Structure 1
Amino acid sequence: MRGTKVIEVLIIEDDVRIAEIQKRYIEKIEGFQTIGIATSYEEAKQSIEILQPALILLDVYFPDMNGIQFLREIKSDYKGIDVMMITATKEIDVIQEAISIGVFDFIIKPVIFERFEQSLRRYEEHYMIMQSLKKENKSVTQLEVDQLLRKQSSSQKSTYYPKGIDRLTLEKVLDVLSGFTIGLTAEQMAKEIGASRTTARRYLEYLISDGKIDADLSYGTVGRPERVYIIKAVVS
């Protein structure tokens, strides 16, 4: 059953266009409301102090601040506010530091709506459990602590795929590609997996964006050059 209390969200993002996309995403998810957008350090500080959101969506890189440092500041000064990082960075050190500080989730741009919604739904469950425990104002049991930890840790363990990407098909594409050291074109992959060229290309391009494969151009004797997809070598 959906909770009656609306969860208020503050977006801290220096790119106004991206902030607006996040706001529109939130508008599609029942039970959440954007109460402000901050694009700088001073705006962010003032917005948090005045608005007191339940949840903050925070980027890492700003012209006038570092999001990880600001995350530390938020978690130090506002114990009751939760934070999700939404950023283009893929540096493992940054991700590890954010998790160690206590970020609820870490989403890499470009943000897929389905992934975004799943994260907010998990947060909603976490938030409702926490509010219920605070309302009862009693000592928690081990079971209740375990529930809270499961809701938060699940955001770091699950694997998400954008619309149109199926896990089993993705694994099949990777398996096929691993058997061809010289790589395959989208058309060749389509024949191998029994799918259309468009479908094969969609999976191959997704794997490139995920950093698992590379692409190069093959110049044949006739026609236009084709993209050849090659699985990345494992560096020992």
Structure 2
Amino acid sequence: MSKIEVIIIEDDTRIAEINSRFTKKVEGFEVLAIATTGEQAKELLEFIQPQLVLLDVYLPDILGTELVKYIRQHHPDIDIIMITASSEVDIVSQSLRNGVSDYIVKPVTFERFKSSLENYRTKLEKFKINDTLSAVDIQSLWSNVKAEESVSEDPSPKGIDPLTLNKIVKYLATINELGITAETLSKESGVSRSTARRYLEYLISQKKVYADLVYGNVGRPERRYFRTDL
């Protein structure tokens, strides 16, 4: 994939230079120019058609949100990432409504900057190599989560096997309002008592079951587990 061409629009020359250095450190990006005013930015965009603009909100002659509208009208194929200290609801909501790819709040760390650009690059790559996208791919376009991370990430904590968990959940669906003990679950599901208790306690954390001490006629109370949907 060829390098992604970038224009930086930032009135503070020191910050503009930092953003330029950050951009050059991320693989696959090239800074074409820096504009310090809205008018200068408009002139550059007439001659240079970058794929991406890094845009500040507070420029000396125009608000960045107004420049976003101008770019959307005159250069709809250019993507925009806002980099600004502004946290006003009106600014953020306007940016969102006008299709800004990301919104980075100053002061900017390199890790946050790098993550934003890499997510943007991943999205472009998906468009270039696919005719259709999976549900995971589509979700990642808006969530800024890389699809491969979404697929490979194991949502279960350490010590919880999804297959064993599914087996236990299916069995629990058959129990009545009297509940079940870890010992009974162990016998019925074929797992050890300690494993049964570990999975039951995990399901408590997921609010699928709850536990209570039940006192019998003789002996100490036993810990019983009940489905939350009963």
TM superposition score normalised by structure 1 = 0.58
Corresponding position of 1:154:
143
1:22 lines up with 2:11 in the alignment: no
User: Which segments of 5 or more consecutive residues in structure 2 lack a partner in the other structure?
Assistant: 146-230
Deviation, 1:146, is: 6.7
Corresponding position of 1:31:
28
Deviation, 1:145, is: 8.1
- Which of 47, 50, 56 pairs up with 1:53? 50
Paired-residue identity, %: 43
Deviation, 1:155, is: 3.6
Corresponding position of 2:40:
43
Q: Which runs of structure 2 are paired with 1:94-173 in the superposition (5 Å)?
A: 94-132=91-129, 141=132, 143=133, 147=137, 149-155=138-144
Change (3 A) 1:145 1:38: farther
Please give the secondary structure, in 2, of the residue aligned with 1:65.
Answer: coil
Count of paired positions: 145
Please give the secondary structure, in 2, of the residue aligned with 1:49.
Answer: helix
User: Alignment RMSD, CA only?
Assistant: 1.8
Q: Distance in 1 between matches of 2:98 and 2:113?
A: 21
Deviation, 1:115, is: 0.5
Deviation, 1:16, is: 0.5
Q: Distance in 2 between matches of 1:95 and 1:37?
A: 23
Q: Distance in 1 between matches of 2:143 and 2:105?
A: 16
Corresponding position of 1:12:
9
CA deviation digits over 1:128-185, x for unaligned, max 9? 222345xxxxxx54x36873x43431249xxxxxxxxxxxxxxxxxxxxxxxxxxxxx
Q: Which runs of structure 2 are paired with 1:197-216 in the superposition (5 Å)?
A: none
Corresponding position of 1:136:
none
Corresponding position of 2:79:
82
Tell whether the 8 Å contact from 2:55 to 2:80 is kept in structure 1 after alignment: yes
Change (3 A) 1:76 1:131: farther
Please give the secondary structure, in 1, of the residue aligned with 2:121.
Answer: helix
Please give the secondary structure, in 2, of the residue aligned with 1:94.
Answer: helix
User: Which segments of 5 or more consecutive residues in structure 1 lack a partner in the other structure?
Assistant: 134-139, 157-236
Tell whether the 8 Å contact from 1:104 to 1:152 is kept in structure 2 after alignment: no
Q: Distance in 2 between matches of 1:152 and 1:49?
A: 28
Tell whether the 8 Å contact from 1:125 to 1:151 is kept in structure 2 after alignment: no
Query: Which protein shows a greater Rg?
Result: 2
Q: Distance in 2 between matches of 1:81 and 1:107?
A: 18
Tell whether the 8 Å contact from 2:39 to 2:61 is kept in structure 1 after alignment: no
Deviation, 1:51, is: 1.2
TM superposition score normalised by structure 2 = 0.59
Aligned partner letter, 2:59: F
